[in-house]
Amino acid sequence: MKYYRSFEAGQTVIWSGDKMDFVASVVSGVATLTKTMEDGRRQMVGLLLPSDFVGRPGRAHAAYDVTALTDLVMCCFRKAPFEEMMNTTPHVSQRLLEMTLDELDAAREWMQLLGRKTAREKIASLLAIIARRDASLGLRPAKGKVAFDLALTREQMSDYLGLTLETVSRQMSALKRDGTIVLASKRRIEIPHFDALLAETGDDNDGGVLT
């Protein structure tokens, strides 16, 4: 009923439309959900970090392409027994509901990014999101210079942001030129002043803590 599967960076976990008789959660590594149009246009619609859930109870086929961004380990449950467990253990569906609501909130913030932000704001937002998600997984010293390795290529960033990879590259160069970010290497990002990055996201960054 429960088993582990490993994937190498770049491997496809499952294609949209494929039969999917399991649900899973990410144990380690990073994976993406993407939608692809007939002519090849691609939009990433989910970024899965450890503890994130994949698959939908009550659906037999995958709705998205799932791809391993880094080496990846997933913990899979056969769907039938999992659904049985949902019926017998009410706590499970409550927990799943909470996680799904979190994802829905994230999706809506993402929609705002896609629909209304400029290319520069999109890049800044993505970097802030990744920095924060890494931090919440406890990979980050609480204080001090923020720095992290980017698991995404420029092209994958463009799929996330609804841009072309050239525009991503240009805006990364612009943020670097302005000193908002420092590129130790192409994929190693340092952020000298996190507030300065946040100021570039276009988000409301003082009303954040409602009382």
Q: Site residues (CB under 8 A) for a copy of itself?
A: 17, 33, 35, 37-39, 41-43, 45-46, 56-58, 61, 63-64, 86-87, 90, 93-94, 96-98, 100-101, 103-105, 107-112, 114-116, 161-162, 202-204, 207, 210
φ, ψ of residue 35 to 5 degrees: the values are -110, 140
190 touching DNA, by CB under 7 A: no
Number of residues that bind DNA (CB under 7 A): 21
Question: Cβ atoms within 10 A of the Cβ of 128, count?
Answer: 19
Q: Please identify which residue in 153, 182, 196, 203 interacts with DNA, judged by CB under 7 A.
A: 153
Q: Please identify which residue in 100, 187, 190, 205 interacts with DNA, judged by CB under 7 A.
A: 187
Cβ 177 to DNA, closest distance in Å? Answer: 8
Question: Cβ atoms within 10 A of the Cβ of 101, count?
Answer: 10
Q: Please identify which residue in 21, 84, 102, 155 interacts with DNA, judged by CB under 7 A.
A: 155
Quick one: what does residue 108 bind among a copy of itself, DNA, none, with the CB cut-off 5 to 8 Å set by partner type? Answer: a copy of itself
Name 78's bridge partners.
22
Q: How far apart are CA 7 and CA 13, in angstroms?
A: 7
Quick one: what does residue 154 bind among DNA, a copy of itself, none, with the CB cut-off 5 to 8 Å set by partner type? Answer: DNA
| Single-letter amino acid, residue 48 | L
Quick one: what does residue 155 bind among a copy of itself, DNA, none, with the CB cut-off 5 to 8 Å set by partner type? Answer: DNA
Long-range contacts of 190-193, Cβ-Cβ distance < 8 Å, separation of 24 or more = 190/145, 190/146, 190/147, 191/127, 191/131, 191/145, 191/146, 191/147, 192/145
Quick one: what does residue 109 bind among a copy of itself, DNA, none, with the CB cut-off 5 to 8 Å set by partner type? Answer: a copy of itself
Q: What is the maximal distance between C-alpha atoms in the chain?
A: 57
Tokens representing 29?
């590594």
Task: Kindly list the residues in this chain that would bind DNA in the complex (CB under 7 A).
Answer: 118-120, 153-155, 162-170, 172-173, 183, 185-187
